[in-house]
Amino acid sequence: MKNILILIVSVFFGANLFAQTDNKDVFSKMRTSTMGNSVYYYDQNSPNTTYTKAFYIYVVKPNMGKPYLMVRFQYSGTSAIGVYAYNVMPDKHSSFNVTPPTGMITKLSDNNYNDFRSYCDLQVEEKFLNMLREIVGSENPKLEYLGTIDNLTVKISSSQVKSISNVLDVYDALSR
């Protein structure tokens, strides 16, 4: 009986030590910022400017609460397309439409310089979380910007997929 107890304790502490080591590696791939009473975790490769097309997620961890995921859709280009919604396509057989409420898409356009930018941050719900996990295992994920003037489909790059995977790992670690 004593041997079994020692084995159980050893396995528990060994697994706990492994989890701590594993978590340290997961968090090393992040850059963080603190705003108010929350810490924000971004993958190091996520853009920190609006001058690029981007699709990425980040974790918000309030000091006194559970972590939650946010997604950012970002458009930047020399032509206005009037973005009003997004289609996220993990593969050619499925898609997930995201139509933000009116006023949620921030436009930063300057017609004098052919600089058309917009972005939208939304909290991730369970269905979208499952779709993000699909993207991580997908071979050819795409993002479609749906606009009032035009639509634009872009490939979600392998570095964006890796960033999504890294942030999901941090979210899972903080949610334990």
Give residue-wise pLDDT tens across range 11-58.
333 333 333 446 789 999 999 999 999 999 999 999 999 989 999 999
The dihedrals phi and psi of 4, each to the nearest 5 degrees, come to -65, -45
In the block, which residue shows the tokens 């997604």?
71
* 132 contacts: CB under 8 Å, gap ≥ 6: 57, 69, 71, 124, 164, 168
pTM of the model: 0.84
Residue 100 backbone class (left: φ over 0; alpha: ψ -120 to 50; beta: rest): beta
Q: HSE of 160 in the Cβ direction (CA atoms, 13 Å)?
A: 24
Q: Model confidence over 127-166: pLDDT tens digits? A: 999 999 999 999 999 999 999 999 999 999 999 999 999 9
- Asked if residue 80 has pLDDT above 90, the reply is no
